[in-house]
């Protein structure tokens, strides 16, 4: 399998090179030259597989430059760190199915991809005798999952930027309490989008990127999207009868998670539609419902991991939307840079609406949903999951199609919001309780790529 860029500016590369490249050298995102097909017979044959076995079946279709036994071993090690034997179990509550993606070490769905990516990086670097400097931006969950994916690993140094004071207390602690020599936290005086802009600026400086061997852990990395495809198929196998279509409700920020669902659908998974749920940062909802893609300011919400305006993974979807026309993708992003908005043709927007429906759920409705869902079902939602459940429940009431809501974080990770919703704190799992009072390390810097660059240069050399 070979990978190319959505902007058409690189020669096709193989899987391991795609993982190491992160953002494509031409500023685009990497995609596979063809999408492997999953047939109804494959799905039925997969019903009894464990999560790691299923992950191997799916991931191996996209990877032809790692021996099967090595790939199986990487996958097994990645999911052995999960605290639930099913890795991503599905529970049924009050008319909706909840796909629990928070049983990894940092209690958010990003562990599913980043445990795998950390092991993959280490494997490729050892094989090549190379080193890697990871530079990432996080609104909270990516950073902690990435740090825990690579802490102590040979050949890797990681720099994670988070917007100062805009992550939850637990998120900050999960990152800054990791004191391994290869882990560096940077608190940036700005927003998540500022952090992401700095990463993009550094990655787009090819000389700097090559000198420091920069790699990405943001959801722009192809291996992350790929690892996330697995749980859509896993959930379908648990919920649906042969051939039955389902709806997935996905609390969305950077569009990485829901894009994995779109890919599973394109592979042949029976899906009726994807429900894209947003908080007040609802640019994607406006895009889907009104065809209006114009960038506004980032608003701080009770679901901070979704406080994003420019969703970088949307580019992968737009590539398919415009029929694989890389010149048009380049034009779209030139327009976005110039005008802060993108315009689409009516038939393109009609296609978007066939693929997605979208609901924006505000703070009040998120908190009410946490409260009412707890009262009715005894099940405590985290604020991100609540956004998706609020949107998904409406659809579940309308029809017969099973609705699978992705539970993207454990409620204890967002204790402040849960406390506000139900008047008492979420019970603390041991993984969080043991963080209290630990020593921390973090460097505060302004939202300026040159200062971040200088810090990286000084630290690595």
Ligand X SMILES: *Cc1c(COP(=O)(O)O)cnc(C)c1O
Comparing CB distances to ligand X, the nearer of 10 and 169 is 169
Among 185, 221, 254, 358, binds ligand X (CB under 6 A): 254
Comparing CB distances to ligand X, the nearer of 177 and 196 is 196
Contact in structure between 3 and 15 (CB atoms under 8 Å): yes
Comparing CB distances to ligand X, the nearer of 124 and 392 is 392
- Minimum gap (Å) between residue 114 Cβ and ligand X: 11
Could you give the dihedral angle defined by the CA atoms of residues 160, 383, 94 and 55, in that order, rounded to the nearest 10 degrees? 0
Q: What is the CA radius of gyration of the chain?
A: 20
Among 111, 193, 257, 355, binds ligand X (CB under 6 A): 257
Count of Cβ atoms closer than 10 Å to residue 437 Cβ: 8
- Minimum gap (Å) between residue 171 Cβ and ligand X: 9
- Asked if 221 interacts with ligand X (CB under 6 A), we say no
Comparing CB distances to ligand X, the nearer of 148 and 384 is 384
Give residues with Cβ within 8 angstroms of 16, minimum separation 6.
65, 66, 124
Q: What is the distance between the alpha carbons of residues 406 and 200, in angstroms, rounded to a whole number?
A: 28
- Minimum gap (Å) between residue 408 Cβ and ligand X: 3
Q: Which of residues 233-252 bind ligand X (CB under 6 A)?
A: 251-252
- Distances from the Cα of 4 to the Cαs of 23, 37, 316, 365, 437, in angstroms? 11, 19, 11, 41, 46
Among 153, 162, 166, 384, binds ligand X (CB under 6 A): 384
Report strand pairing: 90-93 vs 96-100: antiparallel
> Which among 304, 260, 300, 326 is positioned nearest to 415, based on CA atoms?
304
Site string for ligand X, 286-325 (x = CB under 6 A): -------------------xx-------------------
How many chain residues touch ligand X (CB under 6 A)?
17
Comparing CB distances to ligand X, the nearer of 316 and 384 is 384
Contact in structure between 107 and 432 (CB atoms under 8 Å): yes
Q: What is the distance between the alpha carbons of residues 267 and 269, in angstroms, rounded to a whole number?
A: 6
Q: Which of residues 92-111 bind ligand X (CB under 6 A)?
A: 108, 110
- Asked if 408 interacts with ligand X (CB under 6 A), we say yes
- Minimum gap (Å) between residue 283 Cβ and ligand X: 12
Give residues with Cβ within 8 angstroms of 48, minimum separation 6.
none
DSSP string, 422-449: HSSPPPPPHHHHTTTT-----EEEES-H
- Strands of 197-299, DSSP E: 214-215, 246-251, 271-278, 293-294
- Side-chain half-sphere exposure of 272, counting CA atoms within 13 A: 17
DSSP string, 394-410: HHHHH-SS-EEEEE-B-
Comparing CB distances to ligand X, the nearer of 186 and 407 is 407
Pick the catalytic residue from 16, 110, 209, 337: 110
- Minimum gap (Å) between residue 196 Cβ and ligand X: 11
Whether residue 110 lies in the annotated active site:
yes
- Minimum gap (Å) between residue 387 Cβ and ligand X: 8
Q: Which stretch binds ligand X (CB under 6 A): 162-170, 194-202, 229-237, 256-264?
A: 256-264
- Asked if 162 interacts with ligand X (CB under 6 A), we say no
Site string for ligand X, 130-149 (x = CB under 6 A): -----------x--------
Handedness of CA 29, 30, 33, 34 (dihedral sign): negative
Comparing CB distances to ligand X, the nearer of 157 and 385 is 385
Binding site for ligand X (CB under 6 A): 108, 110, 141, 219, 251-258, 305-306, 384, 408-409
Q: Kindly list the catalytic residues.
A: 110
């Amino acid at each position: 399998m070979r990978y190319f860029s959505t902007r058409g500016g690189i020669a096709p590369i193989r899987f391991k090179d795609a993982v190491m490249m992160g953002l494509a050298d031409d500023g685009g995102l990497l995609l596979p030259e063809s999408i492997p097909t999953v047939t109804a017979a494959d799905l039925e044959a997969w019903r009894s597989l464990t999560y790691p076995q299923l992950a191997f079946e799916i991931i191996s279709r996209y990877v032809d430059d790692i021996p099967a036994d090595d790939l199986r071993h990487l996958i097994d090690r990645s999911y052995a760190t999960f605290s639930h034997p099913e890795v991503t179990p599905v529970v049924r509550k009050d008319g909706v199915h909840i796909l629990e993606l928070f049983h990894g070490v940092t209690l958010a769905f990003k562990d599913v991809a980043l445990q795998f990516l950390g092991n993959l990086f280490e494997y490729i670097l050892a094989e090549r005798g190379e080193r890697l400097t990871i530079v990432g931006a996080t609104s909270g969950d990516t950073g902690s999952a990435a740090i825990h994916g690579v802490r102590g690993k040979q050949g890797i140094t990681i720099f994670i930027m988070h917007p100062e004071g805009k992550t939850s207390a637990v998120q900050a602690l999960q990152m800054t309490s990791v004191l391994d020599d290869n882990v560096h936290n940077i608190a940036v005086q700005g927003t998540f989008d500022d952090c992401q802009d700095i990463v993009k600026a550094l990655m787009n400086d090819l000389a700097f990127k090559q000198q420091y061997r920069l790699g990405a852990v943001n959801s722009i990395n192809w291996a992350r999207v790929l690892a996330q495809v697995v749980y859509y198929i896993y959930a379908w196998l648990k919920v649906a009868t042969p051939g039955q279509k389902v709806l997935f409700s996905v609390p969305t920020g950077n569009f990485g998670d829901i894009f994995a669902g779109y890919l599973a659908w394109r592979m042949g998974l029976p899906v009726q539609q994807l429900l894209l749920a947003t908080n007040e940062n609802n640019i994607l909802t406006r895009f889907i419902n009104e065809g209006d893609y114009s960038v506004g300011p980032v608003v701080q919400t009770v679901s901070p991991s979704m406080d994003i305006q420019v969703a970088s993974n949307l580019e992968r979807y737009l590539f398919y939307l415009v029929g694989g026309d890389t010149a048009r993708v380049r034009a779209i992003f030139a327009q976005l840079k110039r005008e802060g908005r993108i315009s689409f043709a009516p038939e393109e927007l009609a296609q978007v609406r066939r693929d997605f429906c979208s609901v924006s759920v505000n703070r009040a409705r998120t908190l009410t949903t946490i409260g009412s869902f707890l009262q009715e079902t005894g099940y405590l939602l985290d604020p991100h999951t609540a956004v998706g459940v609020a949107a998904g429940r409406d659809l579940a009431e309308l029809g017969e199609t099973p609705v699978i809501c992705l539970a993207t974080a454990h409620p204890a990770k967002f204790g402040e919001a849960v406390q506000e919703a139900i008047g008492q704190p979420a019970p603390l799992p041991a993984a969080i309780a043991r963080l209290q009072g630990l020593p921390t390390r973090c460097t505060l810097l302004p939202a300026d790529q040159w200062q971040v660059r200088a810090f990286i240069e000084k630290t690595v050399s």
